[in-house]
Amino acid sequence: ETGVTQSPTHLIKTRGQQVTLRCSSQSGHNTVSWYQQALGQGPQFIFQYYREEENGRGNFPPRFSGLQFPNYSSELNVNALELDDSALYLCASSSTGGQDEQYFGPGTRLTVT
């Protein structure tokens, strides 16, 4: 059974640019949740996708958007990057709309300069 994978591992962007992060969910899971973890902080919920629809959103501006594909993999897009967007971005996959255990990927470290 393949676990949750994320790509890329690291990337560096310039303020104002756009970025796309990718997450492949664990086999059999139909739900992907995205979290932002700033340095020295706990992860914060960005949004969740369940069966290709957004199923809840945290306190993040609209420039954070996402997609889920028919194979349940997901993308997180961030437009107009700001310095404060520098963080570790974690995705977690689960079944049943997130009510079961969430399995986390290793994360993507984004640095905005």
Partner 1 sequence: GDSVTQMEGPVTLSEEAFLTINCTYTATGYPSLFWYVQYPGEGLQLLLKATKADDKGSNKGFEATYRKETTSFHLEKGSVQVSDSAVYFCALRRWGSGNTGKLIFGQGTTLQVKP
| Binding site residues, partner 1, CB under 8 A | 4, 31, 33, 35, 40-45, 48, 55-56, 58, 90, 92, 94, 97-107
Among residues 43 and 66, whose Cβ is nearest to partner 1? 43
DSSP 73: -
Our CB check for partner 1 shows the closer of 47 and 112 to be 47
| Smallest distance, partner 1 to C-beta of residue 68, A | 14
The CB-of-15 to partner 1 minimum distance in angstroms stands at 26
Q: Report in angstroms how near the CB of residue 26 gets to partner 1 at its nearest.
A: 12
CB of 99 to partner 1, least distance (A): 5
Q: Please give the Cα distance from 9 to 68 (Å, whole number).
A: 20
Beta bridge partners of residue 64, listed in sequence order = 78
The tokens for 16 are: 């104002």
Quick one: how far is CA 32 from the chain centroid? 8
Kindly tell me which of 2 and 99 has the beta carbon lying closer to partner 1.
Answer: 99
State the Cα–Cα distance between residues 82 and 86, nearest whole angstrom.
Answer: 8
What does the CA dihedral 47, 68, 33, 7 come to, rounded to 10 degrees?
Answer: -110
Give the residue with the Cβ less far from partner 1, 44 or 73: 44
